[in-house]
Structure 1
Amino acid sequence: MNHTPLAAGLARALAGAALFAATGAAFAQAPMTAAAAAPAADARDLDAVVVEGQIVYRNRTDALAPTLSYDLEYFQRFEPLTVGDMLKRVPSVTFVSDVLEYDGARLRGLDPGYTQVLINGKKVPGAGDDRSFFVDRIPAELVERIEIVRSPSANRSGDAVAGALNIVLRDAYEFDGGYLRAGALRFDDGEVKGTVGGVASGDFGGGRLLGGFNVQGRYNPKLKRSDRFEEPDGDFTDAENQTDTRDGTDYSANLSYTREIGSGQLSLSGLYVRTDRTEREHSLEYNDPTRNDRDHLLSDNDQVVDIDQKNLALSGSYRFDMLGGRTTADLGYSRFEDVRTDTEEETGYDDDDTPPAFDEREGTRILSDQKDVERSLSLSHQRRLAGGAKLEFGIDAQSKDRDTLRRTSEVDTDDEGAPLPPYADFERAASRIEERRLDPYLMLSGPGGGAFEWEAGLRYETTDVDVREEDERASNDYAVLLPSAHLRWNLGERDRISLSLARTVRRPSFNYVLPLTLEEEYGDNDFAGNPKLDPETAWGLDLGFERRLGAHGIVGVNLFYRDVKDLIEVVNTGRPSATALDDYEDELEEFLGDHPGATPATPGYPQLDPNSFVYTAANVGDGYVYGIEFDASTPLTALGLPDTGVFANYSWLDSEVEDALGKRRFNNQSRYVYNVGFIHDVREYGWAFGASYRRQGDVRSRALAEEVLTRYGADLEVFVEKRFGESFSIRLTGSNLLDAKKREDFHKFDTLGDQLDRDYDEFERESEQAGPVYQLIARYKF
């Protein structure tokens, strides 16, 4: 009998449900009691996220800037571990990561650097050289809601060409009570990881205090296979089998304190996240596609990366009445530290012998230490004008210091069976980037409540950049004017149309502005940084329609367009690469050896004619991005199923940019991404169950010397929930029930000329697969 992947996934889900039923029955035999704390007058009871048993749909926001808002309860039935897991279920977010890794969010399919990630409305530093922030570092349990801001207003930073993702953490003012969460995750290879967390909030010291913590075991075992050929449909060269396991623990905590002081309100908050993670890869390379024994072994490779990351974000704000309006002062401090030890050791065998004989053993250890600190100060003032209009103006100041230290040691031995020498004589490379911003803005909005509502503003962002790489120093400064305007037409109580026009900016990636040269960064080609890069800018248009369905449902459709100017692309400087110069020197040495005393006038004297060069980053050309986004979430009340909720979103995405090889889409932009799901509550028995199915389209990437096609399989998630009284619930969740695969084709070349002529250095096919993950999670409200 043949089974489709979807059928196999559903079979696993049903088996998990049967296991849950047995577990739930055992729990049901134990009596449960709880003393529920009375909620504060202005705070929401935390039992809403524990045992309320109500399906939650997307929120309709009052913001004039087009914004989608999703409370944690929208996601929580499927027990997401991180913000990355949450974003799998919202429109237009894709990922180009390893299977079961959801780190760099790609809003509208664009590189993570085009998406602004905020925590409580404030920028935070991250690990990415492209200024991106990995959203899988924030535990879902600390989050109150996720906001997708499709087009920015003047009172928010303009680094949001694709849009902004605002992660709003729970705060003391909004919640009352507390709960504990504990459970375990079981992975495909039998490994079990625990998870425990809790949140509590209440009156304290004349104000309100909320605290939360979370300890989460993280684990992801994957199997990889690579087959390499001289070219597509060409002769086989070698194959590689690899195990890749990510194993670690995330620790997080957040605090929020709010109290009234005088005529104003003081708010303090803090977030700390630590990731302790080890990535282990073991690869065996063979000269036969079907044999994996010693007689065909070409290399035995081990790589271990120990990662210790820390995120700290502190903020304080005071809002108070002044001069007939409302003034706000905000202070922020964010710090990101990333310490890594990357050790790769390989034993190579000479394929000229049969069987391949030992050649050498070599190892590389890279010690990297990165520290990124941001400090911010914001002052703003709001006041009402005649006729109900509102004026807001302010200034945002930001200071960023990014320090990177990289130390590299390489060792080897020609003695078979001998240990590698100790890692010593580390080659050191240090860099520092200092960025200072001062961004004033002015914003005017019309009165609310009528058929038409509007908002318009100007933001002027100034940036001074100083970079240093060892003894090399450079600086740059630029300023960008960012207008924005939003219009909403309320057609009635249920329907509304929104129109937004805004200019946004993307600052250059850190690795592009450092004044250093990397040899053989692209095949045989070198790359030299360009500290004088200007930012990319984009004019954006969003046109949306939204309709309320009944009391809770909502459906929306949005058209968007981005016209991107001053695109940063890799271009040829015309200077020969180090490889070309080395080849010329070898050719010249050989010629002089055969022709002693030869001069440049000697016939046949070698001439430097490089086919590989030094490339750099430059502002060249333009591009555009466009698409349509649809989302719907509603109970099926009209069909007589008020306790059944359905969810769906679909985004069709496209773009065009031109590089040295011609026209293409923006790199790694999926053509589409969609998610569909349902939740059904059986209220009289305290049960609920649901499923979610997600799929994203293929992505292509084309850079100098390499082109990649990536294809992803679908992801199916299923949950079953049982509630016991008003204080206890338990859920079983299964994810990746279709054993999702990632398949990649790598077209590799040595030079641009080879790439244009399709003269391959290598063609590689790689596949990666991970198995299902099951979670059993219990929650207790107190």
Structure 2
Amino acid sequence: MFKTAHFLAVAFAPLALATHAYAGDAAIDTTTAADAPAVSELVVSGEIVFRNRVETPAPVLSYDLEYFQRFEPLTAGDAMKRVPSVAFLSDVLESDGARLRGLDPGYTQILINGERVPGAGVDRSFFVDRIPAELIERVEIVRSSSANRSGDAVAGALNIVLRDGYSLDGGYLRAGALMFHDERVRETLGAVWGGQVGPGRLLLGANIQGRRNPKEKMSWRYSEPDGELVDIEQQSDTRNGTDYSVNASYDIEMADSTLKLSGFFVRTDRREDEDSREYAGGRVRVADYLTFNDNNVDILTDSWSLNARYEKQMLGGTTRFKLGYAQLKDHQDEVEEEYEYLRDVRPFPDDDRFTGDLTFTRLKDREVTAELSHRRELSGGAKLDFGVQYIGKDRDTDITTDRNRVTINNPPAARPDLPGVYGPFLPVPGGLNTIEERRIDPYVMLSGEMPAISWEAGLRYETTSSTIEDATAEDGAQSVENDYQFLLPSGHLRWRLSESDRINVSAARTVRRPDFNRLSPALLEAELGDNDFIGNPDLKPETAWGADVGYERRLGRSGVAGVNLFYRKVSDLIEIAGTGEEGSEGDGTFVFSARNAGKGEVWGVEFDLSAPLTVIGMENTGVFFNYSWLDSEIDDEFGSRRFNDQAEYVLNVGFIQDLPQWNAAFGATYRKQGDAYGRVIGEEVTTTYGADLEIFLEKRFNDRFVVRLTGSNLLDSKKEETFNKFTTVEDQIDRAFDEYELEAEQAGPVFQLVTRLTF
């Protein structure tokens, strides 16, 4: 009760202060920024915002921050949960690796302001929950690739556009608190300001976000399906931390040129604490107490980016110069200590085995980007756009570990801050390597307008030179070079059937570069069940030919509905195959590697609707609905399946009801994601998610102040996983189980009370 009262006091304090200080204040003066909207129009608008209708030939869905803001998303990932075809395979209440069209995050290109950003994942993906929602101006879903963008977008691209100097005029403060189902309270604070400074417009933003995710997990392990229950595991999993972010941009418009400078910094400081207790036979009692596992991970991740863009009218058109630098540093210290009480004939408390592992992970990924391009008008209304882009990536990985084995009667202090407990630390296999990639990608595009048709056609030629150095390779340190080139054509057509109706047709060739852990030539013992794996530095990217066909209709003044069919045919799919060598576990096990040998197909239908109910006299009611049916087919060592972990569907439905006479509003969204199945050598897993319900209540004061109460995960969403585990390929084919496991994790509701004050 005390914690609840404390939460309400913290959350309502900004409301009380602001109501006292700003009652009856005048509206914001926007006379100095005709091109930038007043803050009150964006923050305390009292208007329902729907999906934007983009006019470019390429199929792009655009959602302004105001589309999401009333539900107060904490991160870009939370916002993306509400857009079509974006799935996640994260833990409950986590939205990190975005899976556009349900495919692995490596198939989705994540852009910030149209630029690539390095990520910590081995699949080159960037975790979108690292970007606070307060930095966002809009989110774009780019369904099909164009020649002036990197071709790493088999599923498509998600472009997070950050606010710049022309996003708003004035500023606002954001303050509030979040209460979790364990009654812990975390803070949320932010400030944004934009205005004229000298010859240009400046935007500054800062955000501090308390993060917490307390979950409970339960596992049941059987000898096989419908077999004997071997043991159960009870687990608490709490993730607690703070995210810090700042962003800035400065824009100058001159007579014949423009200059834009921008940058952002995001720090994630998090601790993950997992405690597990395992009991034999499903009986929770001391006599059946198998193990206690204490697993803690301290995470510190810094992401930052600096970009400069200069455009000048010259040479009969507009020439653009771009230069950028982005860096990610990820430090993780993980200690896992397990006390074994009943693993042999000696029962508790005589059994005395202890295992402790301390692992340090240090990852640094840097990217330098540059572009020189030119755009000009041609006769007949056509436009020519050509240029060359450069990308230089340097990735350093350093993972070292040490394992301690002692008795419980004389246990170590088991903490990394105490000397003499762990060490010396040695690299894990594949854990000490550097990867360099250099890309020079020229492109050319033609586009044009006719009375009812707009079109775009382009060619992109991507050249990549890579060097991989691994200090833990089987035959000692190795350095391997690999070069490849791809021609990537693309074309888009938009046909306006009427003022309200139009059709989009797109086709493009795209690529997916290999995961880093598939490239490193290090031998990983018992990586796939009891089978070993060794990387292949000669891997080439996967390639895909794709098509999108969509129909879109305007509904009234601001509504829009659309349906889109997509298809991708993937070649040179990276598959795991045997080398013919015997594995380290002996007879029946093998050494596997990766090779470009597979092929697959992906297809689906995407429907989205966002519109007011003006047609039935409810102009202050907005409804939102999107549904994506997703499917695919791929052949592996065991037969046909879908692409690993692709959700069968993604559903979002919701409404917002504005109450102008009371300066208030309320709304709700419901989200459900279909089952996902994945199969690799040694393991098969089916993942099922429960539904997620969110609501908000809003009250506005004098066009300067708004308070919102939101509740998320109101249905206590649960994630359930079914694991089929095998030791050898032959066992997997014969369905001779090593273990059959059912796991469920669940988290409770989160309530957020947030106030926004404009100035």
Question: With structure 2 as the length reference, what TM-score do the two structures score?
Answer: 0.95
Q: Who is 1:8 aligned against?
A: none
Q: Who is 2:296 aligned against?
A: 304
How far apart, CA to CA, are the structure 2 residues paired with 1:287 and 1:331? 60
Q: Secondary structure at the match of 2:733?
A: helix
Mapping of residues 323-334 of structure 1, within 5 Å: 323-334=315-326
Q: Secondary structure at the match of 2:67?
A: helix
Gaps of 5+ in 1: 1-15, 581-609
Distance apart, 1:175 and its partner CA: 2.0
Amino acid at match of 1:554: V
Q: 1:356 to 1:755 in 2, by over 3 A?
A: farther
Identity %: 57
How far apart, CA to CA, are the structure 2 residues paired with 1:107 and 1:181? 31
Distance apart, 1:288 and its partner CA: 3.1
Mapping of residues 466-545 of structure 1, within 5 Å: 466-470=467-471, 471-545=477-551
Q: Secondary structure at the match of 1:439?
A: strand
Distance apart, 1:49 and its partner CA: 2.4
Q: 1:356 to 1:234 in 2, by over 3 A?
A: farther
Q: Who is 2:553 aligned against?
A: 547
Match of 2:151 among 151, 158, 169: 158
Distance apart, 1:430 and its partner CA: 1.5
Q: Who is 2:576 aligned against?
A: 570
Q: Secondary structure at the match of 2:57?
A: coil
Mapping of residues 304-453 of structure 1, within 5 Å: 304-351=296-343, 352-355=345-348, 357-419=350-412, 422-428=421-427, 429-447=431-449, 450-453=451-454
1:253-304 superposed Cα distances (whole Å, 9 cap, x missing partner): 1000011346210100001000000000000000131x32322110011000
Q: Which has the larger radius of gyration?
A: 1
Q: Who is 2:752 aligned against?
A: 775
1:375-405 superposed Cα distances (whole Å, 9 cap, x missing partner): 0110110000001100000000010000001
Matched-pair contact (CA < 8 Å) for 1:155–1:442? yes
Mapping of residues 649-688 of structure 1, within 5 Å: 649-688=626-665
Matched-pair contact (CA < 8 Å) for 2:14–2:175? no
Q: 1:356 to 1:701 in 2, by over 3 A?
A: farther
Amino acid at match of 1:32: A
Q: Who is 2:416 aligned against?
A: none
1:155-184 superposed Cα distances (whole Å, 9 cap, x missing partner): 111100000000000000332111000000
Q: Which moved more, 1:174-183 or 1:302-311?
A: 174-183
Match of 1:46 among 39, 48, 73: 39
Distance apart, 1:20 and its partner CA: 11
Q: Who is 1:55 aligned against?
A: 48
Matched-pair contact (CA < 8 Å) for 1:246–1:280? yes
Distance apart, 1:28 and its partner CA: 6.2
How far apart, CA to CA, are the structure 1 residues paired with 2:17 and 2:257? 52
Q: Secondary structure at the match of 1:658?
A: strand
Question: With structure 1 as the length reference, what TM-score do the two structures score?
Answer: 0.92
Match of 2:109 among 116, 130, 139: 116
How far apart, CA to CA, are the structure 2 residues paired with 1:458 and 1:31? 56
Q: Who is 1:588 aligned against?
A: none
How far apart, CA to CA, are the structure 2 residues paired with 1:285 and 1:292? 8
Matched-pair contact (CA < 8 Å) for 1:297–1:356? no
Matched-pair contact (CA < 8 Å) for 2:721–2:742? yes
Q: Secondary structure at the match of 1:402?
A: strand
Distance apart, 1:354 and its partner CA: 4.2
Q: Secondary structure at the match of 1:350?
A: coil
Amino acid at match of 1:742: K
Distance apart, 1:356 and its partner CA: 6.2
Match of 1:32 among 23, 28, 33: 23
Amino acid at match of 2:467: D
How far apart, CA to CA, are the structure 1 residues paired with 2:529 and 2:697? 50
Matched-pair contact (CA < 8 Å) for 1:33–1:727? no
Amino acid at match of 2:642: R
1:445-479 superposed Cα distances (whole Å, 9 cap, x missing partner): 1125x211111000000001100011111111100
Q: Who is 2:566 aligned against?
A: 560
Distance apart, 1:23 and its partner CA: 11
Distance apart, 1:355 and its partner CA: 4.5
How far apart, CA to CA, are the structure 1 residues paired with 2:399 and 2:76? 30
1:172-214 superposed Cα distances (whole Å, 9 cap, x missing partner): 0332111000000000001100000010011112111000010
How far apart, CA to CA, are the structure 2 residues paired with 1:320 and 1:524? 61
Mapping of residues 449-464 of structure 1, within 5 Å: 450-464=451-465
Q: Secondary structure at the match of 2:517?
A: helix
Match of 1:198 among 191, 199, 211: 191
- 1:642 equivalent in alignment to 2:648: no
How far apart, CA to CA, are the structure 2 residues paired with 1:159 and 1:33? 53
Q: Secondary structure at the match of 1:446?
A: strand
How far apart, CA to CA, are the structure 1 residues paired with 2:254 and 2:320? 13
Distance apart, 1:672 and its partner CA: 0.7
Q: Who is 2:601 aligned against?
A: 624
Q: Secondary structure at the match of 1:357?
A: coil
Distance apart, 1:236 and its partner CA: 1.4
Distance apart, 1:62 and its partner CA: 1.3
Match of 1:238 among 220, 231, 255: 231
Q: 1:229 to 1:270 in 2, by over 3 A?
A: same
Amino acid at match of 1:121: G
Mapping of residues 725-744 of structure 1, within 5 Å: 725-744=702-721
Distance apart, 1:417 and its partner CA: 5.0
How far apart, CA to CA, are the structure 2 residues paired with 1:31 and 1:440? 55
Matched-pair contact (CA < 8 Å) for 1:24–1:722? no
Match of 2:689 among 712, 716, 719: 712
Q: Which moved more, 1:408-417 or 1:348-357?
A: 348-357
1:469-495 superposed Cα distances (whole Å, 9 cap, x missing partner): 111111111001000011111011110
Amino acid at match of 1:438: I
Q: Who is 1:4 aligned against?
A: none
Match of 2:217 among 212, 219, 224: 224
Gaps of 5+ in 2: 1-6, 414-419, 472-476
Distance apart, 1:42 and its partner CA: 1.4
Matched-pair contact (CA < 8 Å) for 1:280–1:305? yes
Amino acid at match of 2:584: A
Q: 1:717 to 1:20 in 2, by over 3 A?
A: farther
Amino acid at match of 1:422: V
Amino acid at match of 2:742: R
1:38-85 superposed Cα distances (whole Å, 9 cap, x missing partner): 250111222222111100000000111100000000000000000000
Q: Secondary structure at the match of 1:49?
A: helix
Matched-pair contact (CA < 8 Å) for 1:656–1:664? yes
How many residues were matched structurally? Answer: 735
Q: Which moved more, 1:431-440 or 1:20-29?
A: 20-29
1:310-363 superposed Cα distances (whole Å, 9 cap, x missing partner): 001110000001111000000010000000100000100234234563231110
Q: Secondary structure at the match of 1:175?
A: coil
1:406-462 superposed Cα distances (whole Å, 9 cap, x missing partner): 1101112124253256111111242000000000001001125x2111110000000
Q: Secondary structure at the match of 1:292?
A: coil
Q: Secondary structure at the match of 1:160?
A: coil
Match of 2:284 among 280, 292, 308: 292
Q: Which moved more, 1:412-421 or 1:642-651?
A: 412-421
How far apart, CA to CA, are the structure 2 residues paired with 1:337 and 1:369? 8
Matched-pair contact (CA < 8 Å) for 1:718–1:735? yes
Q: Secondary structure at the match of 1:226?
A: strand
Q: Secondary structure at the match of 2:730?
A: helix
How far apart, CA to CA, are the structure 1 residues paired with 2:490 and 2:187? 47
